[in-house]
Structure 1
C-alpha cells in the first residue's frame, strides 16, 4: 500500500512537470484541434488525481501527449506503468515505437524485442519486426535517398524578354522590338537528386552530407532557352560543445564547412561554372530560435563573357522561429556580398534581405513562402549605357502534400522582377508549376 501511494505521488508529480511540454511536431496541425487536445489533456490530468492507477485514464493521457507532440511525457507515463506492472506487452510496444520516433534506437530495440516474449499475435509480430528492421537501417553508417520529380511549368516570360518600351543609348531612345518583349511559354521539368548522409560514429555525432542533383527545363516554343544544371556539394558537420564560441551563447552549436559546385547549360552549350566554399555556424539561441551565420566565397566562370568572370565574397545572418500552437515557422536572412570581376563595370556590392513563412495545413498540406529583395550597385559605368543600379524582388509560394510514403505533389508560384537603371536589364516573370515526386528507390 505504501508503494502504491509513493508510485501515485511520483507519477502525478511527473505528469504535472510535463503537462505543457512538447518535443516533436504535434500530430495535429489545426490550431483549434490542437488547443482542444491540450485542454482535454489537462482534464484527464485532473481526473488522475482522483484515480491515479486507472489504466484507461493513463492510456488516454499518454495518447493525448503523443497527439500534442509530447513523446517524452507519454514515455514517462508508460515507464511508470511498467514499474507498477512489468508484464504489459502493449506498453512495451508503445515504448519501443516512441523511443524509435525520438531516435533512441538502443532503448527502442530493447522494448520491441521484449514484446515477443509474451507470444503476441502475428500482426503484432509483423509490426515489431518492421520497426526492428527500420532500426537496423537507421543505424547504418551510410544513409541515402533519391528523389525523382517530373512536372510542368507555365511562364509569362519564356523568351527572357525585356520589360521596357525603350532602350537609352547616350542621348538616344531606341524603341524595343516587340519580338524582344516578354512572351509566355510552357515547359517540361525533370529533376533528380541523390542525398547521402555518412555517420562518422563520432562521440559528438558528426557526419558528412553529400548531395548531387540534375535538373532540366525544356520549353515548348523558345527552345533556345532550354536549361540544364548540375549541382554537387559536400558538407562536413562538426557538432561542437555548447558555448564553443561564447559570444553566440548557443545550444547544440554546429560548425559546417562545405563546398558546392554548379554547372549550367543553355541549349546544349555550357554557359557557367561556379565553385563555392562556405563556412556555416548554427545553433539554438536563448529565446528558442535557430540561428545561422555564413561566410562564403564563390568563383564564377562564364563561358560566353570573360569580362564577367570573378569572385563573390559574402556573408549572411539569419534566424527562424516556431510560433507556438500553430507550428508556423517564420524567419529572416540578411545578405551582404561583394563581387570583383575582370571588368571594372561588372564590380558590384549587393545588399539583400529574405523573409520566409511556412505552416502545416489541413489534409497533410504544407505551405511555404519566401520573399527576397536585393539592391545591387555597380562600381563603374557600363559602356554606352552609363551607371547601372538594379533592384530585384521575388515572391515564392509552394504547397506540398505527401501521398503515402513514396509520392508527393508540389504546386508552386514564383513572381520575380528586376528593375534596373539600364532598360535592357529589366525583367519580370511569373511562373506556375506542378510537379510529382517519387522517393522510394531501392
Structure 2
C-alpha cells in the first residue's frame, strides 16, 4: 500500500529519464498515460495516483505531479509521504513557503515514518539556509615558500642569441629564494528569490614579499561579480550557469604592473551523485605598464581568451579523482609575445583517518601532474630572426593537509616544474616547498 511504499518521487530522481535516454523516456510516458486512464476510472485509487505523480516528476512534469499529490490529500488527508513529495517539488521550484507548509504538515501526522522525518529535517534546514538571502564565506592563508628558481631563469649561463653564444651574468640565471605570502578569498551570494537564482561575487587577494629577489614582490587583486541561474526551470537538474564581470590588477616590485577588465561565464552540473563537471570561459582585456625594472612589458598588452573543463569523480568516501583540460589565446602588441596554449592535468585526493587522537577530522593527500604546450606567433628578434618560440611545460605537485580545530588547516605543498623551450632563456626547472595555515570563516 501507499503508506508502506519504498519508492518515493525523490528517491526516483536517481532514475530520472535524461534527455539522452529516449527509450526510458518513452517507456515512462507510456506508463504515465496508462496510469492516467486508471485514475480517470478510479479517482480514489491512491496507489495508482502515487505512481502517476512519481513518474510525472521523473519526466519533469511537475505541474501534473503536484496537482495529483494535492488531489490525493483531498481523498486521504495527512499522508506524510505525499506531503513530503509535495514539499520536495515546491522546494525544487523555489516556492519555499509552500514547501515549508507541506514539510511541517508531514511532521504533524501521527506515526511519521523515520525516513520521512529524516528527509523533512534536511529540507527544512535547507529552507532556513536559503531564506537568509545574503551569505558570506571567507578564507585567509599565511605561509612561506622556498623556490630553487624563483625568477624562472635559465639553468646555465651559456645561451645562444641569433646564432651567437652569450655568457649571462650570474644574476640573470635561475636564483633560489624564500618568500612570505598572504592570500584571501571572500565569497558572497544573494538569493534573488527567483527559483534559486543568485547574485554572486568573489574577491581574491594575494601579496608576497621575497628575501633576495625584491623585484618579484607582488600584489594581486581580482573581483568577479554577476548572476548565476538555477537551470531546473528548463528541466536541467542540479545545474547552475553564471555570467560575471572581471576586474583585476597586479603590482610588481612595488609599482603598477598590469590591469584587466573582462567578462566570463561558468557552469557546474552534478552529472550523477558521484560525478560533477565544471567549466568556464573568459575574455579579458589586459594593459601592461612600463616601469624602470620592466621597461617593455607594454608590448604584451592585448586581450586573452581562456577556458577550462574539470571533471570530478567520487570513487569512494575516501577517494576523489579529477581531470582537467584547458587552453587560452593571448593577443599582444608585438607578435612575438602573442601565443596560444593547451594542456591537461590529472589528480586526486585521498582522505584518511587522523593519526592524532586530539585532531579528529580526516587528513588528506592530494596529488596532481600536468602538461602544457605553448606556441608563439613569430620570432623574437632579440633571440632569433627565423624561429618563433615554443615551450613544453610539465609539473608534479603534492599537498598534505591536516585540519586543526576552530576551522584551521595546515598544508605542506611540494612541486617540481620543468619547462623546455627552443629559446634557451625560457628553459628552466623550479622545485618548491610551501607551508601555510588556512583559516576559514
Q: Any idea what the Cα deviations from partners look like across 1:211-259, whole Å, max 9, x if unmatched?
A: 1132111112222211111121114211113767xxxxx6423221122
Q: Could you say if the C-alpha distance between residues 284 and 402 of structure 1 is closer, same or farther in structure 2, counting changes exceeding 3 Å?
A: same
Q: Could you say if the C-alpha distance between residues 106 and 350 of structure 1 is closer, same or farther in structure 2, counting changes exceeding 3 Å?
A: closer
Q: Any idea what the Cα deviations from partners look like across 1:370-422, whole Å, max 9, x if unmatched?
A: 33321111111111312210112233322233222432222222322222111
Contact 2:318/2:352, CA 8 A, preserved across alignment: no
What is the alpha-carbon distance in structure 1 between the residues aligned to residue 352 and residue 226 of structure 2?
Answer: 32
Superposition pairs for residues 254-403 of structure 1, below 5 Å?
A: 254-285=240-271, 289-304=275-290, 305-323=297-315, 325-363=316-354, 364-386=362-384, 387-403=388-404
Q: Any idea what the Cα deviations from partners look like across 1:83-125, whole Å, max 9, x if unmatched?
A: 7757x9xx89x957x756x453278xxxxxxxxxxxxxxxxxx
Runs of 4+ in 1 over 4 A off after TM superposition: 79-86
Contact 1:156/1:429, CA 8 A, preserved across alignment: yes
**Alignment partner, residue 148 of structure 1:** 140
What is the alpha-carbon distance in structure 2 between the residues aligned to residue 337 and residue 414 of structure 1?
Answer: 23
Q: Could you say if the C-alpha distance between residues 308 and 243 of structure 1 is closer, same or farther in structure 2, counting changes exceeding 3 Å?
A: same
Q: 2:169 aligns with which of 162, 173, 177?
A: 177
**Structure 1: gaps spanning 5 or more residues:** 1-5, 22-78, 108-134, 245-249
**Alignment partner, residue 36 of structure 1:** none
Does the residue aligned with 2:331 lie in a helix, a strand or coil? strand
Contact 1:164/1:424, CA 8 A, preserved across alignment: no
Contact 1:326/1:359, CA 8 A, preserved across alignment: no
What is the alpha-carbon distance in structure 2 between the residues aligned to residue 404 and residue 157 of structure 1?
Answer: 35
Displacement of 1:81 in angstroms is 12
What is the alpha-carbon distance in structure 1 between the residues aligned to residue 279 and residue 186 of structure 2?
Answer: 26
What is the alpha-carbon distance in structure 2 between the residues aligned to residue 231 and residue 293 of structure 1?
Answer: 19
Q: Could you say if the C-alpha distance between residues 159 and 339 of structure 1 is closer, same or farther in structure 2, counting changes exceeding 3 Å?
A: closer
Displacement of 1:141 in angstroms is 0.9
Displacement of 1:428 in angstroms is 2.2
Displacement of 1:146 in angstroms is 2.9
Does the residue aligned with 1:104 lie in a helix, a strand or coil? helix
Displacement of 1:168 in angstroms is 0.9
Could you tell me the TM-score, scaled by structure 2's length?
0.66
Contact 2:130/2:191, CA 8 A, preserved across alignment: no
**Alignment partner, residue 125 of structure 2:** 105
Displacement of 1:329 in angstroms is 1.9
**Structure 2: gaps spanning 5 or more residues:** 15-104, 291-296, 355-361
Superposition pairs for residues 26-41 of structure 1, below 5 Å?
A: none
Contact 1:350/1:377, CA 8 A, preserved across alignment: yes
Q: Any idea what the Cα deviations from partners look like across 1:251-271, whole Å, max 9, x if unmatched?
A: 423221122322111121121
Q: Could you say if the C-alpha distance between residues 362 and 373 of structure 1 is closer, same or farther in structure 2, counting changes exceeding 3 Å?
A: same
RMSD of aligned C-alpha atoms? 3.4
Q: Could you say if the C-alpha distance between residues 274 and 103 of structure 1 is closer, same or farther in structure 2, counting changes exceeding 3 Å?
A: farther
Q: Could you say if the C-alpha distance between residues 415 and 144 of structure 1 is closer, same or farther in structure 2, counting changes exceeding 3 Å?
A: same
Matched, 1:226 2:217: yes
Number of residue equivalences: 332
What is the alpha-carbon distance in structure 1 between the residues aligned to residue 150 and residue 350 of structure 2?
Answer: 31
Displacement of 1:436 in angstroms is 1.5
What is the alpha-carbon distance in structure 2 between the residues aligned to residue 395 and residue 242 of structure 1?
Answer: 42
